[in-house]
A and B are shown apart, each in its own frame.
Chain A
């Protein structure tokens, strides 16, 4: 392999890696704040891309049905828990928060979708449709067992992915979609040709990482989220409601997923179930980066992109094998480097 070829592979790898960086940031965000490994994050990304593609093609996106359905479920779960606690007087507010508010974007999108829309409006609609999904999933699946061991939360995550992608198949259909690129320009940097879309993705990743840092380091809301992650009991004792911070974290994750979907969609054709593998590869990147730091996750995700493109050069069919197989030696290395965990959780399940 000569240098030119290596450069070519590297630029391809960075373009792929840029996809994973955004997703990895979202996954680390949710994990740090809620201890939940949010496997369906990749699905949200795919739904974002598919929603935008459908809107651009003048069709009604699957999210128009998906989101109200989740809203009804979430309200049912909330109502049941309120009635169980004997707090029926809080039902109207719950209906507003869990039923009306999340369903609003879908109601707004209904008459609009199906016509020729300006690009910007399409993007706004897409984001508005994806935003409620994270908090709704949180309310339905995770909040009832917020105190459960990480392992149980992880199983719930994996199961949730399969359940939600079964629903997505009904609403989105099996065909893939690919929205138009946001910008089409190509740049030459030295010998490398880089698409503007790749640069945009890298820029957005950097911005998102910086924005997250700002939010968590500078704002009291961000600090409250971190505090919940560090010490749940401590957080409750200063009046922070873990349910609210959890919902906020998932809202942020949704926003990141929508952004990722907008950016990734034009680069690669996505279908209802392709978010899973993208999510898991980003996840491998996040774990390589240590799962606790945003820059680490970003670097790990870039590494995954590079690994993929270099493996693909030798035999493209083995790039997935390589990405997932690399995790085992990485984890072994980490377990050798870091000290032993203090004491494992008693009764994991």
Chain B
């Protein structure tokens, strides 16, 4: 407890949200990593710093260490709700607002409330609490984020029903990742520190597999890195000339966005694969661009290739842009500016004929038109021979 920094909520900088409470979210890859534990530790730290702390909602899931750690922090009683003959216990939002503590601990941000309460979702309750000027500490797992839900489903085969919009996490003043290696988490699970004994085997055989946990951990770490990058870009820091210089440099420092120039032929697939791998490594967005000469009808083969490229783009989750123009370089430059592209990938051009030889090659023209944008010509490794019968 001693190493935690108390009152950090009170000194966070945003004058933008003056009067509104601060939200700090403890984000983890799965149950059992220690989010609630850390939330309680920080609650104690705030209390020791002299602030009025209350627990709005705590889910111990039968864990003795959590219940013990909550001792000493005043708990606002839950309210009982009956829904279809079942008695449920939910956070008492009116009581939390009436209590008006300086800091309120509200576990499980993604929880869905029983029907008939003020809001269907707990994060909406938290919004009310923040609006009342109360700081909130809360917890959630990464798979509850709406935008990651499909990806997590694909990675783990588990569909999470309780989701929250990404904007909720984006609005949080602080996101703290609670990280644990998959091996450590499994050890905790086997030791009965996460679930009761009768649920351990089921958990180990379903969700809590090392490949699932590794994938979720990566998603969680990446999510927080992106949040940090985003906040760095959007937060205006009044640092004078140096601050302005930093702000001007920041987008290029963190926000890579790739554009691959393609044509509908079989060779484009290879370029897209390489561009996608680069985008994955950089954690960047990838767009594909085909500058189509106006007024020309596509041959059957090119039409088929275009359909295959659309399919590939869709599977990869990238966007295929088609622009009609005779001026390739100018169009690429315009699209690059429109989408904030920092990196252009292109294949090797076919050898120029006739007067075209006198023109400046496309990479050089792009570098002239787009100073500050990297241009990469992807190698044709292996002497690619893609047949095109057009």
Are A and B part of the same complex?
no
